[in-house]
Structure 1
Amino acid sequence: MITVSLSYPLSDELLHQWGRSQVTAIGQFDGLHLGHASVIRKAVELAREQKVPVSVMTFHPHPKEVMKKGDYEGYLTPLVDKQDILADMGVDVLYILRFDEDFSKVSPEAFITDILLPLQIQTAVVGFDFRFGYRGAGHEHTLRELGGERMSVHTVPPFELDGEKVSSSSIRRALQTGDLAHASRWLGRSYHIRGTVMDGEKRGRTIGFPTANLKLDDTYVIPVKGVYAVRALVGERWRSGVMNVGVKPTFHESVLNPSFEVHLFDFDQQIYGEPVLVELHHYIRPERKFSSVDELITQIGNDAQTAKKLLG
């Protein structure tokens, strides 16, 4: 898959290189959950039928992050994860259109006439609730009307599980209440975070449970504070473990920003500075303050045994 960065207005050089007949799925696609995947799959299907490349157009940074509006709390799927998933789905080209305050004022009409049509998008594939342009004034009917005979539009209906529409907002709520089963089912995969192992307080080593302290690579949606059974990709090998997300109230009184500390089972290598991907599989318990270090040590041991059973 080729990744192409776009900014408005598009340059003649870029249009000369990338303007071609293609089927394009358009949307924010944060989460790339089962609903988003249904839109991408339809675009891939239509592109194969029409014998043209299939592309995805997304916007970065997230519009809610730029405009400081709505319920934005971070990414479910940052760009690096989005690229991996889309490549696996058979997408040929990923267009990343820079979203800033100036672009937020571009009209729906200009979005179509200055971006979509010059790129020679012959079929646009969108979700049923797709909105675009200044104040979200554009919708699927706007695409059909202004695309005319030059661009057809395919709208994908809602994707439902158990009679409920799959949505990014519901996945965020599930993560923030510890309902990993719900979040994973709607995502179609386990929720994960990426980070780099940094120097921590090294307290875990002194109590018999050494941990890798992660500095997250991006602004992720932070799950509820607590202890999780996880699998972590270290180098080229997956390892099981437990992760604590929180402020370590047994040792700290006024820390606000949560830390991410992973204890890997049967692992004693030094991995400072190395990247780690952590999949969250089960929420074990909320974070709490213990009356003594010994009580904490006992609980961590219990958490480790619970995680081993859950992870099989």
Structure 2
Amino acid sequence: MKTIHLTYPLSAGILREHAGPQIVAIGQFDGVHQGHASVIGSAVRLARQEGVPSAVMTFHPHPKDVMKKGNYEGSLTPLPEKQELLAGLGVDVLYVVEFSEAFSKLSPQEFAVGMLLSLGVRTAIVGFDFRFGHKGAGDAKMLRELGQGKMSVEIIPPFEQGGGKVSSSEIRKALHGGDLEQANRLLGRPYRLRGVVIDGDKRGRTIGFPTANLRLLDQYVVPAKGVYAVRSFIEGEWIPGVMNLGVKPTFQENVAAPSFEVHLLDFDRDIYGEQMIVDLVSYIRPERKFPSIQELIAQIRSDAETAGKILSLSK
């Protein structure tokens, strides 16, 4: 999959190299969840039928972050993660459109003509709730009209599961509420974090449970504080583990920013400075303060055993 970064207006070089018949799925696609996959999959299938490239057009940075609307806290799938997932869905080209305050003021016509028609888009595939242009003035019906007979528009209905539609907002809500099972079900895969192993206070090693302290590589949606059964990819292999996400109340007070500490089961190697992928498989319990270090150690031992059982059953 090629990744092409676009700015408005499109340059002559971009048009010369990339304009041509193509099928494009348009959206933010944060999470690349099952609903998004239904939109993107439709674009890939149609492109293959017509013998033209399939493409996804997304926007970066996230519009909510740029416009400071709502309580934007981060992405379910930052751009590197999104790229991997889209490549896995068979997408040929990813257009990453630079989203800025100036871009947000484009009229629906400027976007449709200046971006889509200029690129030679044959069919635009969008979700049922697609909006575009300044203040969301455009919808799928308007996009079809602006296509001027040169570009058709296909609208994909909502993807439903368990009686409700799958959405990024529902996934965020589930993560915040500690309902990891629901979040993973809506995503269609475990929620994933990426980070670099950094020096910590090394307290875990002194109590018999060394941990890899992570500095996240992007601004992620942070799940509920607590203990998770996880699988971590480090140095070319997947290792089972248990992660504490929180502020370590047994040892410190008045700490706001959570830390991410992963204890890898049956693992004892120096991995400082290494990148680690962490898949959150199951939520074990909320974070809490323990009356003594001995009780904390007993609970960590229990958590590690619980994580090991969960992970052995979920292979």
In the alignment, the residues of structure 2 paired with residue 110 and residue 70 of structure 1 have an alpha-carbon distance, to the nearest angstrom, of: 26
Aligned twin of 1:299: 299
Q: Does 1:197 align with 2:197?
A: yes
Give the match's secondary structure for 1:117.
Answer: helix
The residue aligned with 1:128 is 128
Deviating 4+ runs (over 3 angstroms)? none
The answer to which of 70-79 and 217-226 deviates more is 70-79
Identical residues among aligned pairs (%): 62
Structure 1: how far apart are the matches of 2:153 and 2:113?
Answer: 15
Structure 1: distance between partners of 2:72 and 2:141 = 27
Paired letter, 2:217: D
- Residues of 1 paired with 2:230 and 2:159: CA distance? 28
Deviation at 1:70, TM superposition (A): 2.1
Residue of structure 1 in register with 2:97 after alignment: 97
CA deviation vs aligned residue, 1:7-65 (integer Å, no higher than 9, x gap):
11111111111101000000000000000000000001110111100000000011001
CA distance in 1, matches of 2:7, 2:247: 39
* Paired position in structure 2 for 1:185: 185
Does residue 14 in structure 1 map to residue 14 in structure 2?
A: yes
Q: Secondary structure at the match of 2:228?
A: strand
After superposition, give the CA deviation of every residue in 1:73-126 in whole Å (9 maximum; x if it has no partner). 210011111111111111100000000111111111100111100000010000
* Residue matched to 2:164: 164
**Map of 1:115 onto structure 2:** 115
Secondary structure of the residue aligned to 2:240 is strand
Match of 1:272 in 2: 272
- Structure 2 unmatched ranges of 5 or more: none
In the TM superposition, residue 157 of structure 1 has moved relative to its aligned partner by 0.3
Map of 2:218 onto structure 1 = 218
The secondary structure found in structure 1 opposite 2:119 is coil
Deviations 1:219-274, CA, capped at 9 Å, x for gaps: 00000000000000002100001000000011111110000000000111000000
Deviation at 1:311, TM superposition (A): 1.0
Cα distance in 1 for residues equivalent to 2:72 and 2:28: 13
**In 2, Cα distance between equivalents of 1:71 and 1:181:** 24
Residue type of the alignment partner of 2:178 = G
AA matched with 1:265 = L
- The AA in structure 2 aligned to 1:288 is R
Q: Measure the CA separation in 1 of the matches of 2:148 and 2:37.
A: 27
Aligned-residue offset at 1:277? 0.2
Question: Residue by residue, what CA displacement relative to the aligned partner does 1:129-166 show, whole Å, maximum 9, x if unpaired?
Answer: 01111001111011100102110000000000122000
Per-residue deviation, 1:72: 2.1
Letter in 1 for 2:177: T
Shift of 1:292: 1.1
Output the CA distance in 2 between the equivalents of 1:266 and 1:308: 10
Kindly provide the amino acid, as one letter, of the partner of residue 192 in structure 1.
R
For residues 126 and 71 of structure 1, what CA distance do their matches in structure 2 show?
A: 25
* Structure 1 unaligned spans of 5+: none
Q: Secondary structure at the match of 1:141?
A: helix
- The aligned amino acid for 1:185 is R
Structure 1 distance, partners of 2:184, 2:273, is 29
Kindly provide the amino acid, as one letter, of the partner of residue 122 in structure 1. R
AA in 2 matched with 1:212: A
Q: 2: CA distance between counterparts of 1:139 and 1:70?
A: 21
Aligned to 2:48: 48
Tell me the TM-score normalized by structure 1. Answer: 0.99
**Counterpart residue number, 1:238:** 238
Which TM-score applies when normalising by structure 2? 0.98
Structure 2 counterpart of 1:261, which letter?
Answer: E
RMSD: 0.7
Cα distance in 1 between the residues matched to 2:210 and 2:227: 15
